[in-house]
Structure 1
């Protein structure tokens, strides 16, 4: 394909929107009025149902029935599976302007099998869930499973359907020539299989579907309403106004615009098409090839999936799977996501330098832009902090009036911001297209005032999540409630302030925007609802078969016991499993299978890996499937916009995303990068977090420069290698310190009780445990970390759950006390075998070690050498 040919767009705007619809909302648009109204009505009813079950017992809640989780999950899936068969054609050749009779039949039968779980809940608790399923229940469950997999195939493609079918076959057969002996089992009976997967509460109707019901829908609906109100366009225009004038500005605007839309979107493909329609043509105008322009858009759009607070719904799943608070998930995910975006902006900047690209219109200074950004960020931080103290003060003075005062104040601020917006010309996508044709980008002064009221619901969301420490569901409900109010009132308020428009007409438009937003939110949830239900098949199989506990052994065999090789294999496995899956299903599958494997294999190598780090590791690699050929859906969408080659676009996008590939390895070996162990409630902890962020950002920029082959000027191989070395040292300084000084000091295992009694409170001891494996009988070993509690020696021993008995050859470990953390970690050991389980090694912290940061000095000297070498050849400014 020649450059001239590849530069032409292959699809019109309508076809691009159809591409998004076919993947996110269903490609079928029936021409029969009553069918279209039925689909819209069911979608609208689904959104209203979700708002009903999410409302936190407001004054009107007393008049509404209350449903528990076992009732809401089947209803949630019933809406999703009914709409899946009506909105998604069975094949590419299937009609899109009507619903065939067979799809009506499948929709009704599938919905009936799901609603049976709702209406027969009491019967199921007495029969199937007590181990006595009836033949009718088994038939209903089998039909439901088959139709769920078919709905998954239609809405998501064949990947999840194939994976689900393989796991069902594995659970049923248990052994065979394709199943390694390590994970083989006797196999489940057909009745047991259907009971576990459909009739029980831990399969299809388990935690993943529960998260989709309770959290995910509200956030998707919130994003849909925000976008329908005009926030998505506002963010894109603001990014162009702020960054479009820089060298390579459209690409930088694409990155920042995708970061902001990624906050409210759960779809990589929607991000690509929404922002790419404007950014890709302008990137090509300043000198990017079609493939490079598409790749920048892909890399930035996919990165939206790792950006808090939504993270493609993975954040809420992590809360359930790991058992930590939502705020903790955001804390751990924030630094890697932000530095990844900063590095992508820098990569774009380096590409612009390499090609000596000009700016669109009058040029601007990147350092000045960054300074303005940090000043604005600081002002916002001060204002937000002042608001916290103000509301706390009101709570102390007039606690009963805090809520009404805050609501009145919020309403007043909203009206004021809409008044400011009404004095400006409304921004539409066409505005940007017209201006870009004359290379006259919008100015920040003209843009920022037009949509400040869109920030209010985001502030409300952050406030309830971070300050009030409310649940994600409650926080999303309040933010969505404000968004409902905004979408209805913003147009009539503007009409009233402008005095030249019909208030009644604008009110009607606002109401239609509300209905359209509610319907769009529900249709965007069809794939996620079906995906979380189908992913429950994998979760149930993992819990009912040995694969969950023995997969670690299989990976260990393949890797030869070398941790870095294990991590590479797990990354590749997560990447392959993620191909063709949406972010949510992708994360459920890879985390169910691989997260515990990362932790257990790390423990066998003496590396204590936090569970959140393991989950983020598999999540990062899972979302890279949206980039990587041959399946990379986002790359194909970007190529459709740019007119470039999709495979080449995917490879370039993967190259741009190397920083996203490197980050998981870095925070596995240095969990401080995800602020693990950093207390943000103290000034010292905040200062530590800021230091980690600054150093990690600097290191990531150097990594980007090394992989792009350009720093102050084009780099040779030696200079790139030195930059990589400096970046690695800044990321993981402990690596070099470990070569010089041991991390731990050996303690006597036989005197463990005395070591525990003598150690200071909160000291972390590492215990090497060896003994017979419960499943195989062979010898195994692992490393566990034990935090020393308060109290005397006997109290500490009791609280830790450790039970010892002396032995001539060392200290024998009895089964830890039930319910303790140690009992869970050592569940794979056989404490009743003839061979005892022993504490073979006790390691305490080496308090005489040098600070690891001392290795920053030689790293900075190497960086200085690179700067000196490149300054001699530098012919143009690096910024």
Structure 2
């Protein structure tokens, strides 16, 4: 019988405190009075501006992006404290310098719209005012990034800026002529190669609208419905609550761009259920952390970096191409977690939920219409309409569904709050993409990308596997405390080119760094999602991170497989081949899951576990010889397990007769 502490459910206030502790993007002030109204209507105006340009067409690149940046920076300085300790002491109102920074941000956002013709005609010649505004814009972006995203990405951006200025003093192949301060400012703010570059362009169009879509989905009541649906489908199975957590978190990833937020909101419900059933604290937290982190890998709506990938790869690739390619790896990722929790439940002898603990399936499936917006966006993304229009239509469909839902019927005020919440969520993404633009601008101007790619190849001896391993390590390190968007921009700029030079197609190379940037959230020593899960479960954080990494083993294996064999991404394959690839890979995940947990139909010897993992790898790798070898070995292992089970269950009967 579990004690009271173990089965305690977090209150909404405790959940928010935990999210703010591990997720810098959530640590906003609670403004009151006139400041509260200014922030509220500022966020509302931000959303309305984005919707206006989505409906009637975006402005010229510089105007669209600077207005987007101006909104984001000014609101960040109002809502995000410069010192989080002061916020924790209850000092929620802004300081005098926050007000100055917010006003300067408005000026930066208005500069291109006000002086567009003069700036275009100047052909790169900066006036004193131009230089001052550009320099202020750089400094504001760095400070806003520190507040809304965290210190690591700001430090990385500063390092790149210093590299751009002092390049002539760098050793060996890293050396370059160096950029003057005037040239740096011009590149960063007066071209579309720096702050106003591709990352911010995507933030000011696609990403904002999909974050808005997620905000409207929450208002329809679909978040709670995901939990109810997950229980109805998986609750009665062996170790049911763990499988509920996996299913629910995969769905929650559709409406949450944050691993930490997903862990806390979903985990506050699922982790106590798992502990009550008999799972250890660390394992319960790890299930939720690994599943919640994988939400960004699950189509149709993946992490914000997936939208950046469309622009970075180019060559006519669409978002649907990326979502389709990521489908099988995502299925294998969640299947791996599901299989391992199943074997762990069998090893511990855990039950599923009782009928009394289950919600009414009739009521749950009676609300299946709440999934219409998600189905709609899948169909829209598959069609020939633009990503922008797909997001717009999905928002409208969400509103209609919200009006239909009797339990949480959407009102006009809910639409207003959804617009405000969506804009609030977009602030950190805008800051991260602006900072990423600084990094991309330096890389472009100095030629650093090609230099590092060649250096990486030289360091790995020109071999692909060592190059992949070095790239993985770089992505995991950069992902420690940094958002996926910034991580992806950096690694796709300086590491993905190395893989491409070695013959890897663009899409597998970019998905490779995308995967490891995301999985950094559960990889020790800085595993924010795992630490947040430990905060809910009461488990030890590092052990929770280690358990999370074990459960997410597919994410450490599959990227290597699809780089070596792009068939796993459904590239140049037939449907027959796809079905076979999925079948063999799923069987392979069963073997790997058994090997990692150490239990199948019985406890497994360490040699059996090693063999099982090898068998799984052979089956996941989509080649005929490896598939045939893997299937034969899998059948042998399965037969041995079955024979043992049959002999073991027959022994008690024999002794009883005796």
TM over 0.5: yes
Write the distance in 2 (CA, Å) between the matches of 1:721 and 1:707.
9
Partner of 1:459: 375
From 618, 634, 641, the equivalent of 2:536 is 641
Match of 1:721 in 2: 610
Aligned to 1:55, what secondary structure does the other structure show? helix
Task: Choose which of 598, 602, 613 in structure 1 pairs with 2:499.
Answer: 598
**Aligned residue number for residue 285 of structure 1:** 276
Q: Deviations over 1:756-795 (max 9, x none)?
A: xxxxxxxxxxxxxxxxxxxxxxxxxxxxxxxxxxxxxxxx
- Determine which of 655, 664, 670 is the counterpart of 2:565: 670
Deviation of the 1:25 alpha carbon? 5.4
Q: State whether residues 7 and 275 of structure 2, in contact with CA within 8 Å, keep that contact through their aligned partners in structure 1.
A: no
Equivalent position of 1:490 in the other structure: 404
CA deviation map 1:599-645 (0-9, x unaligned): 11xx2xxxx31110000101111111111223222112111211112
- The answer for unaligned runs of 5 or more in structure 2 is 651-658
Q: What is aligned with 1:340? A: 333
Tell me, yes or no, if structure 1 residue 116 matches structure 2 residue 111: yes
Map residues 446-525 of structure 1 onto 2, 5 A cutoff.
446-450=363-367, 452-466=368-382, 468-487=383-402, 489-490=403-404, 494=406, 510-525=411-426
Gaps of 5+ in 1: 58-65, 363-438, 496-505, 679-684, 735-852
Q: CA deviation at 1:224?
A: 0.9
Which residues in structure 2 correspond to 1:393-412 (within 5 Å)? Answer: none
Q: 2:636: which partner in 1?
A: 865
Determine which structure has more spread, i.e. the larger CA radius of gyration: 1
Stretch moving more, 861-870 or 226-235: 861-870
Q: Residue in 2 aligned with 1:270? A: 261
Q: Provide the C-alpha distance between the structure 1 equivalents of 2:75 and 2:248, rounded to a whole number of angstroms.
A: 31
Structure 1 residues 444 and 180, CA gap change in structure 2 (3 angstroms): farther
Aligned partner of 1:94 in structure 2 is 86
Q: CA deviation at 1:688?
A: 2.3
Change (3 A) 1:25 1:550: closer
| Contact 1:9–1:643 under 8 Å retained in 2 | no
- Aligned-partner SS, 2:176: coil
User: 1:587 aligns to what?
Assistant: 488
Deviating more after overlay: 860-869 vs 24-33? 24-33
Q: Which of 516, 521, 524 is 1:629 aligned to?
A: 524
CA contact (8 A) 1:670 1:731 kept: no
Secondary structure of 2:201's match?
helix
Determine helix, strand or coil for the equivalent of 1:94.
helix
- Name the CA distance, whole Å, in 2 between partners of 1:541 and 1:312: 25
| Distance apart, 1:191 and its partner CA | 0.7
1:698 matched to 2:587? The reply is yes
Contact 2:464 2:499 in 1 (8 A): no
- How far did residue 31 of structure 1 move? 5.0
- Structure with more of its chain in strand, by fraction: 1
Measure, in 2, the Cα distance between the counterparts of 1:478 and 1:24: 31
Partner of 1:738: none
Deviation string for 1:471-509 (max 9, x for gaps)? 11111111112223433x336xx49xxxxxxxxxx98x6
What's the Cα RMSD here?
2.3
Q: How many angstroms apart in 2 are the aligned matches of 1:48 and 1:166? A: 36
Match of 1:148 among 137, 141, 153: 141
Match of 1:105 among 88, 93, 100: 100
TM-score (norm 2): 0.93
Is the alpha carbon distance of 1:578 and 1:442 closer, same or farther for their aligned partners in structure 2, counting shifts above 3 Å?
same
Matched residue, 1:611: 506
Residue 346 of structure 2 is aligned to residue 353 of structure 1: yes
Check if 1:543 corresponds to 2:432: no
Cα distance in 2 for partners of 1:544, 1:333 equals 32
**Are the structure 2 counterparts of residues 34 and 456 from structure 1 closer, same or farther at C-alpha, using a change threshold of 3 Å?**
same
User: 1:708: how far off?
Assistant: 2.2
Deviation at 1:515, TM superposition (A): 1.5
Deviation at 1:7, TM superposition (A): 4.6
CA shift, 1:716, in A, is: 1.6
**Alignment partner, residue 232 of structure 1:** 223
Name the structure, 1 or 2, with higher relative contact order (CA <8 Å, separation 6+).
2
Question: Matched residues in 2 for 1:224 and 1:856: separation?
Answer: 44
1:45-100 superposed Cα distances (whole Å, 9 cap, x missing partner): 1111111111167xxxxxxxx62332211111111111111111111222442111
In the alignment, does 2:76 pair up with 1:84? yes
Q: 2:41 is matched with which residue? A: 41
Residue 151 of structure 2, aligned match among 134, 154, 158 = 158
Q: Provide the residue aligned with 2:305 in structure 1.
A: 314
Query: What is the CA-CA distance between 1:520 and the residue it aligns to?
Result: 0.8
After TM superposition, give the deviation of residue 282 of structure 1 in Å: 0.3
Give CA-to-partner distance per residue, 1:352-383, whole Å, 9 cap, x none: 01111122215xxxxxxxxxxxxxxxxxxxxx
Local SS of the residue matching 1:164: helix
How far is the alpha carbon of 1:330 from its aligned partner?
A: 1.5
- Shift of residue 30, structure 1, vs aligned partner: 3.7
Whole-angstrom CA distance in 2 between matches of 1:237 and 1:709: 31
SS of equivalent residue, structure 2 residue 238: coil
Q: Is the 8 A contact 2:9 2:272 kept in 1?
A: no
Match of 1:815 in 2: none
**1:568 is matched with which residue: 469, 492, 513?**
469
The answer to which of 276-285 and 115-124 deviates more is 115-124
Secondary structure of the corresponding residue to residue 85 of structure 1: helix
Q: TM-score, normalised by structure 1?
A: 0.70
Residue 459 of structure 1 aligns to a residue in which SS? helix
Secondary structure of 1:641's partner? helix
Map 1:649-668 onto structure 2 (within 5 A).
649-668=544-563
Quote the Cα distance in structure 2 between the aligned partners of 1:11 and 1:161: 33
8 Å contact from structure 1 (residues 28, 98) kept in 2: no
CA apart distance, 1:24: 6.6
Cα deviation, residue 546, structure 1:
2.6
Where 1:93 maps in the other structure, the secondary structure is helix
Distance 1:858 1:636, change over 3 A: closer
Q: Is the 8 A contact 1:16 1:640 kept in 2?
A: no
Whole-Å Cα distance in 1 between the matches of residues 415 and 124 of structure 2? Answer: 47
* Partner Cα separation in structure 2 for residue 100 and residue 30 of structure 1: 14
Deviation at 1:169, TM superposition (A): 0.5
- SS of 2:187's partner is helix
1:257 positional shift = 0.3
Give the 5 Å matches for 1:179-194: 179-194=170-185
Q: How many residues align?
A: 641
In structure 2, what is the Cα distance between the partners aligned to 1:636 and 1:873? 40
Tell me the residue number matched to 2:655.
none
What's 1:328 paired with?
321
Aligned residue for 1:682? none
